[in-house]
Structure 1
Amino acid sequence: MKNKFKIVLYIIIVLILGILAFFFWAKSPNLDKSEYAKVMKFDGNESSKNNNDSTISLITYNIGYLSGMTNNTSVRPTEEFYDKNLKDIIGRLKKYPVDVLALQEIDFGGNRSYHVNQYQELAQALKFYNGCRSINWDKKYVPFPYFPISVHFKKMLSGQAVMSNFEIVDYERVVLSRVQSQPYYYSSMYLDRLVERIKVKVGDQEVMIFNAHTEAFDQKTRTQQILFLKDWFLRTAETMPVVMLGDFNSDPSYDNAAILEMYDDDRIGAMCSKEDLLCDKTLTYPTDKPIEQLDFVFFSTKHFELLDWKVLYDLGEVSDHFPVYTSLKLK
């Protein structure tokens, strides 16, 4: 009996040690942190922007790693599915040539999207001059979705990116506040919420662009992040033109919706007015039947005049979000 107990105890100890070893390996990064923020010029692509032009056109787009409506579900699309969505998004975005394309949830060679560097593929195909990318999710093995095991994301390398025909003169990757209520094992596997700070040259004027992706699941943390971004926006706008865009994960209909804080200061302009929030033409999520408005473009009213904007519904279901197009003119 004692020998059987020892054997069972030994097996339990080995299993626990194995699980712990797997956990610490799985949460370890693929890249050194020095690689998490990078500016690139794309070979063979030249800037098509007239240096004297005072207009700036932008698209913000959470591309959901091109997984369509399967994003974060227990479905493993085929490699052909991703290839088709990549070709579709390239073809459809070519109809909207812009100066700045800001992306969220883009993969840089992770397993879930079959190791394709979507950033490189899009930038080259759309002929952008330069760009920057930030890693916000770098893990050896992400066991999500939880069941079945065959749909696990496994190697994860994902984040945010900006592509531009304006020269990028300064760039910074900034990690936003984390959810404090999450247990250690969950937090260790969770992504960083980021804002990319990009300074570009528009003619002889420098413009600051913020590409943000705030917390999706914890309202308290999301509110903290959006208030931080609003304060940073206003402080920066004291000295230069500012555009802040991205997926804010804050629908105006939510209780105490933090995104409304951006509408309560006349120094901040938005692509749509407060009266137009949640209209049919402004909803961005989900793409099969949009009912929420999560994606926004804001600008400093002191420096910009709004020329045009629209949600690009013709981009279809290559993501679970629709992109937002905006055109601005420097005053």
Structure 2
Amino acid sequence: MAALFKRMPLPLRAALFVLLALVVAAGGYVAYMLLTYNRIPDGQQLSVENNQRALLKAGEDYSALTYNIGFGAYTPEFTFFMDTGEMLDGTKTHGSSSWAASKQSVESCIAYDIELLREQDPTFALLQEVDFGSTRSYGVDQRALIAQALDGMGSSFAVNYHSSFLFYPFTQPHGFANSGILTLSAVEVDSAQRRSYPVSKSLSKYFDLDRCFMVSRVPVEGGAELVLVNNHMSAYDKGGVIREQQLQMLRSVMEEEAAKGNYVIVGGDFNHAFCGSEELFCGQQKTPSWLSVLTQADIPEGFQIVCPSNLEEVASCRDSDIPYEKGVVYESTVDGFIVSSNVRASSRVIDCGYTASDHNPVRLEFSLEPR
């Protein structure tokens, strides 16, 4: 074999060396991904930092805000490399960027988000895609920036993305990604717990999020309890199989808490279109294949999807396969709230024009019915 190799022309030997090196590198990378993969166990208890002392009271008016901040990357021009789509004329579209434009751009987006939260001044803020130590967002610790700026609110953080180094796309490797969901509260929170969602068992699990939701237990004056859920369901799930499993788990928790007589509010990024919004803002694009629909029939009896009062005027999410242009890009409302029957609520989408995220916030006004 050695003699045969020596008789080969030099260019052929060089090509074989390169091929062998690529095979070894690929094998090593696969081994690295397999060995470093782990899921966070279900039921992880979370700390409540800077916990506040005020108590909720039944019959009083409060507010909550849900907002997927898009790891500080999504300016209107930003497109994401995993997002694909199709124009009405059949033209295929594909996002291009794996990282935010720059560290300065990330910091600018987070500063915008902080100012928005200050202006809205909600009782609770439920945030998703909050990065720390991620290649894609230049290592900016977004959870610390937000929690420190809003020092009049307590905070709990649950990791739902902790991927190993992703070498794809080759021109701009996605790298390490660490991200999670952040719940902020202006009132006392007794406890917070991370619940692990079912995720894909295919190879995609090595690159996708370790999906979860957070359950915060908020005492109400007089001995009652509000169960506040910060939710972020799967997006890249062809056919919606995993999302259905996740929805089943969420339904089970909702039913269990309602049966105890608790107040329940579930807010977040459901990655399901609410209230028929999938047909309202098609623009010049076809409905994306990843989009599932959530209807009243999908949630437990005794709960209500809170449709935004401005549902037909503003959507909460844009597609990110092309830069944002109103009337061109497909939009839908996938962010929002579900409440139990003992919670009176209304909501609206806040039109930020996708200035700092591919999502617009959704604000909930609510009161807890006296017992």
TM-score by length of 2: 0.75
| 1:195 corresponds to 2:191 | no
Counterpart for residue 112 of structure 2: 88
Shift of 1:19: 2.0
Whole-angstrom distance in 2 between the partners of 1:114 and 1:230: 37
Tell me how far apart the structure 2 counterparts of residues 132 and 313 of structure 1 sit (CA, whole Å).
27
1:297 aligned onto 2:337: yes
| Correspondence 1:319-330 to 2 at 5 A | 319-330=357-368
CA distance in 1, matches of 2:297, 2:22: 51
Distance 1:51 1:172, change over 3 A: closer
User: What amino acid is aligned across from residue 267 of structure 2 in structure 1?
Assistant: L
Q: Quick one: distance in 2 between partners of 1:211 and 1:174? A: 10
Instruction: Point out the more displaced range, 314-323 or 12-21.
Output: 12-21
Structure-to-structure mapping, 1:68-83, within 5 angstroms: 68=74, 69=76, 70=78, 72-73=80-81, 74-75=96-97, 76=99, 77-83=101-107
Mean alpha-carbon deviation: is it higher for 240-249 or for 14-23? Answer: 14-23
Query: 1:12, 1:133 → 2: CA distance?
Result: 45
Counterpart residue type for residue 25 of structure 1: Y
- 2:46 aligned to which of 32, 38, 49: 38
CA 1:147/1:279 → structure 2, altered by over 3 Å: closer, same or farther?
farther
Rounded Cα–Cα distance in structure 2 between residues aligned with 1:172 and 1:280: 36
1:250 to 264, 272, 282: 272
What SS does the aligned partner of 2:331 have?
A: coil
Give the distance between the partners of 2:21 and 2:232, measured in 1 at CA: 41
| Aligned residue in 1 for 2:26 | 19
Displacement of 1:188 in angstroms is 1.5
Structure 2 SS opposite 1:178: coil
1:47 is matched with which residue?
52
1:168-179 alignment to 2 at 5 Å?
Answer: 168-179=189-200
Match for 1:115: what amino acid? G
Q: In 2 relative to 1, CA 167–317 (structure 1 residues): closer, same or farther, beyond 3 Å?
A: same
Partners in 2 of 1:85 and 1:103 — Cα distance? 14
**8 Å CA contact 1:212, 1:248 repeated in 2:** yes
Q: Contact 1:263–1:269 at 8 Å: present in 2 too?
A: no
Amino acid aligned to 1:22: Y
TM-aligned CA deviation for residue 264 of structure 1: 6.1
Cα separation, 2, equivalents of 1:103 and 1:173: 14
Distance in 1, matches of 2:105 and 2:34, equals 28
Match of 2:147? 123
Q: For the structure 1 residues 161 and 187, does the alpha-carbon distance in structure 2 shift closer, same or farther, using more than 3 Å as the test?
A: same
- Matched residues in 2 for 1:152 and 1:120: separation? 25
Q: CA 1:258–1:107 in structure 2 vs 1: closer, same or farther (change >3 Å)?
A: same
Runs of 4 or more, structure 1, over 4 Å off, are 4-14, 26-34, 50-53, 254-258, 261-266
**C-alpha contact (below 8 Å) 1:30/1:138 kept by paired residues:** no
Q: For residue 261 of structure 1, report the CA deviation from its aligned partner.
A: 4.3
1:57 to 60, 63, 86: 63
Length-normalised TM-score, structure 1: 0.83
SS of corresponding position for 2:231: strand
Offset at residue 213 of structure 1 (A)? 1.1
Partner of 1:245, secondary structure, is strand
Match of 1:280 in 2: 313
Distance in 2, Cα, partners of 1:32 & 1:177: 10
Preserved CA contact (<8 Å) 2:37 2:206:
no
Aligned counterpart, 1:233: 254
In the alignment, the residues of structure 2 paired with residue 28 and residue 121 of structure 1 have an alpha-carbon distance, to the nearest angstrom, of 32
Change in CA separation of 1:325 and 1:130 when aligned onto 2, cut-off 3 Å: same
Q: CA RMSD in A?
A: 3.1
Question: Equivalent residue for 1:269?
Answer: 304
Note closer, same or farther for the CA distance 1:143–1:280 as it changes in structure 2 (3 Å cut). farther
- What is the distance in 2 between the residues matched to 1:324 and 1:187? 29
Larger Rg: 2
2 CA distance for matches of 1:16 and 1:203? 64
Query: What CA distance in whole angstroms lies between the structure 2 residues aligned with 1:262 and 1:93?
Result: 33
State the partner residue of 1:132.
156
CA distance in 2, matches of 1:56, 1:243: 12
Could you tell me which of 192, 195, 206 is aligned with 2:225? 206
Question: How many corresponding residue pairs?
Answer: 316
1:216 positional shift: 1.0
Distance in 1, matches of 2:221 and 2:30, equals: 50
Match of 1:3 in 2: 5
Conserved in 1, the CA contact under 8 Å of 2:46 and 2:191? no
**Superposed displacement of residue 257, structure 1:** 4.5
> Structure 1 residues 152, 15: closer, same or farther in 2, change over 3 A?
closer
Q: Tell me how far apart the structure 2 counterparts of residues 158 and 92 of structure 1 sit (CA, whole Å).
A: 21
1:318 alignment counterpart: 356
Q: Secondary structure at the match of 1:192?
A: coil
Shift of residue 47, structure 1, vs aligned partner = 3.0
The 8 Å contact of residues 230 and 262 in structure 1, kept in 2 or not, is answered as no
Q: 1:262–1:142: structure 2 CA closer, same or farther, 3 Å change rule?
A: farther
